[in-house]
Each structure stands twice: as structure tokens, then as C-alpha cells.
Amino acid sequence: MGKLCLRSQIKTRFLLVARWIERFSNEREPLEDNPRGGRPIMAIIQANIDAVKDMATVPDDDPNSITVMFRNTHNHKYRAETTRLPSPVRQSVSKYVHIGLTESQICSSLLLDHPSLSVPSTKLTSLVKTERRKNRPKIFSVFDFCQWCNDHQDGAVPHSTFVPFYFINDIDDLFVLFTTKELIRQIQYSPLLQIDATYKLTWNELPLGVFGTPDCNRNFRPFGVAPVSEDESSSCYEHLFNSLRSLSIQQFHQPYLPKFIMADGALGITSAQQKIFPNVTRLMCWFHMMQKCHSHRNLLSKQQWSQVDKEIHAVQLSFSDDVFNHGINLLMNKWRTEPSLANFCDYFNEQWVEKLRYWYEGSALNLPSTNNGCESFNATIKRQYTL
């Protein structure tokens, strides 16, 4: 063992001498070492200096007699600063995510639990998403998904998940109706059914059909949701309408006969409504209708569009079918007298007079003229419940 240590020392010293010979051969004169970066600047910050002084004592300023005191626990007083939220806050967020609170509810709870701490909304959002990912279920196979749906077909508890109808042929060819028995009871009381499909919610990016009705304060009340096939074809909505009809008979012993169905201009919804509910009035969301018209304003000059926009808004206030028919005829005749409006007039007549004409107030008096409640509900799902 001694021989090995001696050889190691001889080898180290030989390399050191060889290195200095090489330097002097290159006309080096100073005997000092080259400057080196040394330890990072964070190693000699005042907090570390104070920590070392706290552990080491020099009695009577004698450098030959130094006592070093070791602790069995960390000194958190000198812990490096971090941008993470404090541990108590993180623990509270983890607890609230685990019991299913929304982000806004978690924020309100943190104000009560930690009134002296400020929690930035961006950090809270990031932390909530991280905690939700920890508890998300494993990716289902088609068989597992079918089994799960089959296990929830009873809906024994009023507010528990109820899957009355479903089919899952493949991950891109499915229809699953999610609701609760308490929610689905509402279909008996409203003449209006609002429908919309939203995206970027599911892991395989399937559209999620959301359907419900507004209350007397025009707040959207969902009946349920249904993941549908990727192409969002009419067959998806036919399954939905047939499911609602069958469910109404099974649960309430009466047919489901809404008077109005409101949606955007999706052709699949219109086709399914004409097939399953031919006597129901297909309402067009006023907001989406104007959005589409606005996208065709390039057919007009800026000044022409300003005037056309006012005229469309005036016709939208028609309080009966007769008033609308008379007003829209006058408007079409006026536009046709101006050659520069011909292209826009043809588009408007085909789309909003012949195909989807029920976008005026009188088409469904005392009911909302837009699908904004449903759209707002979709935004809430994305903001508070998705990962």
C-alpha cells in the first residue's frame, strides 16, 4: 500500500514538473498560476459566509484552534431562494385538487388558508395542471372504455355519472352520452335545446357535444355531454336526438318533443334535426350568423358594409314571422338594385333566408337569440377542468 502511494506521488510531481518545463520553454517568466474561474459566485454569497461562521468558531482569534459545529438538521434559514410557491400552499393545492375543486374554488380556499400569502394566478394555474396530471387515469383501451360505460348504465345515485346509451366501435367511431339522472330530468321542462361541439378537450382530440337549455336568467343549464366521432357528421347528432327521445320515454314515460333547437350553422346538426325532429324550428345563433356575415364583408366596400350591418341588425329585431318576411323582402329588393351588392346579396339570400332563416327575435319570443350560454359553458370546461 505504501509503494502505491509513493508511486502516485512521484507520478503527480513528475507531471507537475513537466508542465512547468513546457511553460518556461514557451518563454514564460511569471511563477504564479494562471487565473482560474474558481468556485461560482453563488458559493461565496453572504448567506453562505454567515452559515460557515455560524458553524465554525475561533477562540481568542487563534487560527490554530478552530472548532467546527455540525448539525443533524438543515438550516432552512439559509435555503436558496426559489420561485416556486411555498410548500404549505403547494400542499393545500394538492389536497384541493384531490377532492375535485375547480381552480376558482381552490383560489378562494387559499385566501382563507393563507391570507398573508400572495398566489399569482399563473403559478396557481400551472400547479393545478401539474397536480391533475398526477391523478389522471391510465389511457383506456376500447374494451376498458366499454366496460366502464357498462358499469355506469344504472345511475343509481341521482348525481352520479349515468351512461344510458353508448357505442364504441373504435377510438374514432364512438358515441357516449354522459349525464346524471338529476340533470336529464330538465329535458321535461324546457322547449329549447341548445347544442354545440367543442374541441381540444379529449386526449385523442374528439369533439365533445354539449347540450342543454337556458334558465329564466339565461344561464346555461347542461343536460349532459357526449364525445362524438371526429368528422362530427349528422349520424352523431342523430344518435344524440334518438337517445334523448328514448331516455325520456324510459325515465319519464313521455316523448321528448322540443319546440326549438339552437346551434351554429353546422350542417350535421341541421340534417339530424330535419330527420329526427322535422317539426322542430331550427334556430340559428344570432352571434354566429353575424360572425359569418362579417367574414364575407370583403365582398363590399367599408362604407357599404357599415350600412349593410345596420340593416341586418334592424331586420333581426323583427318580432314575428310576418314582420320578418316583409322586412327581408324589402331588404333583398333594395340590395338587388345596387350591382356592387350583388355577390353579397346572393350569399345572404342563399344562406340566411333560404337555409337558416330563424335568426330573428320573433322566431322564438322570450328565448335567447344566441348560443352564447353554451359557448360560455364550453369555455368554463376548458379553463377549469382540462389538463
CB environment 249-262: b (16+ within 10 A), e (fewer): eebeeeebebebbb
- The overall longest dimension of the chain from CA atoms, in Å, is 113
Q: What CA–CA distance (Å, rounded) separates 372 from 376?
A: 6
Q: Integer distance in angstroms from the first to the last C-alpha of the chain?
A: 61
Q: Read off the C-alpha cell for 286.
A: 344570432
Q: What CA–CA distance (Å, rounded) separates 334 from 321?
A: 20
- CA count, 13 A, side-chain hemisphere, 99: 9
361: left (phi over 0), alpha (psi -120 to 50) or beta: alpha
Is the model's pTM score more than 0.85? no
Contact of 213 with 221, CB cutoff 8 Å: yes
Write down the domain spans for the chain: 13-29+141-285+370-386, 87-135, 286-363
Residue 163 one-letter amino acid:
V
Neighbours of 59 (CB within 10 A): 8
Cβ contacts of 113 within 8 Å, gap of 6 or more = 88, 92
Going residue by residue through the chain (387 aa), what tens digit of pLDDT does each one get?
Answer: 444 444 445 555 666 667 767 776 776 666 666 666 555 555 566 766 676 666 555 555 555 555 555 555 555 555 556 678 888 888 899 888 888 788 888 888 898 888 888 888 888 888 888 887 776 666 567 888 888 889 888 877 778 889 999 988 887 788 899 999 989 988 988 899 999 888 877 666 778 889 999 887 878 899 999 987 766 678 889 999 999 999 999 988 999 999 999 998 888 899 999 999 999 999 999 999 999 999 999 999 999 999 999 999 999 999 999 999 999 999 999 999 999 999 999 999 999 999 999 999 999 888 888 877 888 888 777 776 665
